[in-house]
Structure 1
Amino acid sequence: MRVATYASHSALQILKGAKDEGFETIAFGKARAKPLYTHYFPVADYFIEGTYPEEELLELDAVVIPTGSFVAHLGIELVEKMCVPYYGNKEVLKWESDRNLERKWLEKAKLRLPRVYDDPDDIDGPVIVKPHGAKGGKGYFLAKNSTDFWEKAKRLGIRDKEDLRGIQIQEYVVGVPVYPHYFYSKLNGELELMSVDRRYESNADAIGRIPAKEQLDLEMGTNYTVIGNIPLVLRESLLMDVIEAGEKVVETAEKLMGGLWGPFCLEGVYTEELEFVVFEISARIVAGTNPFVHGSPYSWLRYDFPVSTGRRIAMELREALEEDKLRDVLT
């Protein structure tokens, strides 16, 4: 068995973790990316050009580790039909990629969520507008009222209420962005807090370097395209909040879609009242785990050796292989 993933997003970490656990590794994707994974950072034993080279992957006895880039490039329908073994539960994909289903999941988990507006004309405070799917913050925008919404929505080609199916309008909750990363082991039934990050987004973060008056004069719109990730260590008294939220999500997933296992991330903010408000879930490895290739403060507290989220995936695959339980973690 070899570990494979799409050459983008968090592939360096996934492949490095797999090699640390003794697996041969495969990266596949655009030809331009090849030297990144085979020369500059030699973590791939094989590189295959193509978005999803199914025959080659099957011949190499590959197991695919999904990332946000993989799902975004292939699309959910193709991922659901792929023949190469896939680590995780494919049923989760449609719940994660549709913001309405995602909200149903998080509501049933009894998490604190922002208000959602079905009708833009009901907007009575600041909102953030998000297209469906994993797009790394691309296309997000803020609006202060319904008039502002309709003016800015034109960027996404939204002209009337019939065009609203591809977006969700959320209450904008003021707070510190917090993205805890989890790993749930299907083999031992335990949840682990792997690390926490916050995102550096353009131009939402960079715009703060421009004086307020000049921002107004320039009429700059805010966008949230993710450029990178910054490690974050939470106050210790807040850790049970995020751990309990992760446990609720896993328990609810078991009832709704047959389970969530492997890595996932809850994306939210902590308010000044120290309330953890969750606005979405990424039910796979997220790029925010990339600062922790050598482990995080939380993984060091659990393990006596460096464990990234990528390596934790490989550890689970190694255990499943040795215990003849691969069928339990692959779909």
Structure 2
Amino acid sequence: VANRGEIACRIFRTCADLGIRTVAVHSDADENALHARVADTAVRLPGSTPADTYLRGDLVVKAAVNAGADAVHPGYGFLSENADFARAVIDAGLVWIGPPPEAIEAMASKTRAKELMGIAPLGEVTESDLPVLVKAAAGGGGRGMRIVRRLDELAAALDGARAEAASAFGDGEVFVEPYLERGRHVEVQILADTHGTVWPLGTRDCSLQRRHQKVIEEAPAPGLPEVLVKELHALAVRAARSVAYVGAGTVEFLVADGRAHFLEMNTRLQVEHPVTEAVFDLDLVAEQIRIAEGHTLPLDPPPARGHAIEARLYAEDPARDWAPQTGTLHRLAVPDSVRL
């Protein structure tokens, strides 16, 4: 597993259920981390920073080969949406548990993804187009993003977004799209096999955000008309088919005025995948592995039942304007009725 921490542990848990032996990679700083202890084998990546370890695809591939692994799961984050890393894994004779590199590449740029969906970005912005959103073509998390409500603010917003995007993602490309004031952030989990079957697995609502970071995610998205859910599913399947997608992925939308507006496609498993698993009684990591082994999905997904909510916990310092802060968690109390 080309990842660390909770992400790696989550994948190891499924592998243990399937009887698959696992290999962890760890930096020097993570030598005694949980993910390095629960795997069957742990391989050191010399160095302490992510740039020197977990983001070094060549070292990760070498570790997998030397440990005798036959497949690599990227988890989410780090190299999970890196097409070159996917190619390096495949070129090393290992099974890549993820979408084809070409699909990752096609959806990596939000502008390219929109082109595939037949959506053209705004050209010359006029007063009637306002408000608009300047957005980085690569990356996410709210970086390289500016809301523009006045035309005289546009040039500065473009310059600022370009600089931030270049610093954060190494790519300064930005684009402009209409800004939907009261849109809901709704996404569709998809699962696709190598035989042409694509499952749209319900909806997730991720509208409750702070600083463009998701806080609460729930499945299914409440209050959506059935006709709109069908439209979201059809668009998600269309996005997957447009790049011959394989494996698990997420298609994200803004929903406003009863319409679905395509945002992007994340070519990996997402943090909020457990709410979909709970509603569909599926293990998405197990499905990823089976798909990588060549298994065929049934024509229709299992029926959805119930409702699931996930809350993200953020460690922040209120005395420093809520800046991110690390520290020791001394106690966590969870009611017995809550499923972890």
The amino acid across from 1:189 in the alignment is T
Select 1:261's aligned residue among 246, 249, 254: 246
Encode CA deviations 1:3-34: one digit per residue, 9 max, x unaligned.
x2322684443332232222122333544456
The amino acid across from 2:155 in the alignment is W
1:312 counterpart = 2:287: yes
Are residues 283 and 157 of structure 1, via their aligned partners in 2, closer, same or farther at CA, if it must alter by over 3 Å?
Answer: closer
Select 1:45's aligned residue among 26, 33, 40: 40
> Comparing 189-198 with 259-268, which one deviates more in the overlay?
189-198
Give the equivalent residue in structure 1 for 2:63: 56
Greater fraction helix: 1
Alignment identity in percent? 12
Are residues 33 and 172 of structure 1, via their aligned partners in 2, closer, same or farther at CA, if it must alter by over 3 Å?
Answer: farther
Select 1:117's aligned residue among 113, 119, 122: 122
Query: Unaligned stretches of 5+ in structure 1?
Result: 108-112, 204-223, 254-258, 301-306, 322-331
Give the equivalent residue in structure 2 for 1:327: none
1:28 counterpart = 2:13: no
1:132 counterpart = 2:137: yes
Are residues 95 and 228 of structure 1, via their aligned partners in 2, closer, same or farther at CA, if it must alter by over 3 Å?
Answer: same
Are residues 143 and 25 of structure 1, via their aligned partners in 2, closer, same or farther at CA, if it must alter by over 3 Å?
Answer: farther
Query: Unaligned stretches of 5+ in structure 2?
Result: 46-52, 165-170, 297-340
Q: Distance in 2 between matches of 1:32 and 1:63?
A: 25
Show structure 1 runs of 4+ deviating over 6 A.
none
Select 1:183's aligned residue among 184, 191, 197: 191
Give the equivalent residue in structure 1 for 2:264: 280
Give the equivalent residue in structure 2 for 1:221: none
Encode CA deviations 1:98-132: one digit per residue, 9 max, x unaligned.
2232112122xxxxx5x622445788312222223
Q: Is the 8 A contact 2:193 2:295 kept in 1?
A: no
RMSD between aligned residues: 3.3
Encode CA deviations 1:185-235: one digit per residue, 9 max, x unaligned.
2247242416624165432xxxxxxxxxxxxxxxxxxxx2x2545123134
> Comparing 308-317 with 262-271, which one deviates more in the overlay?
308-317
Which structure has more relative contact order (CA 8 Å, sep 6+)? It is 1
Distance apart, 1:138 and its partner CA: 2.5
Aligned residues: 268
1:233 counterpart = 2:220: yes
SS at match of 2:206: strand
Give the equivalent residue in structure 1 for 2:14: 17
The amino acid across from 2:21 in the alignment is E
Matching of residues 315-326 of structure 1 within 5 Å: 315-317=290-292, 320=295
Give the equivalent residue in structure 2 for 1:271: 256
Select 1:242's aligned residue among 232, 239, 251: 232
Q: Is the 8 A contact 1:175 1:271 kept in 2?
A: yes
Encode CA deviations 1:299-322: one digit per residue, 9 max, x unaligned.
13xxxxxx232232133345649x
The amino acid across from 2:220 in the alignment is V
The amino acid across from 2:13 in the alignment is K
Distance apart, 1:291 and its partner CA: 4.4
Q: Distance in 1 between matches of 2:262 and 2:7?
A: 23
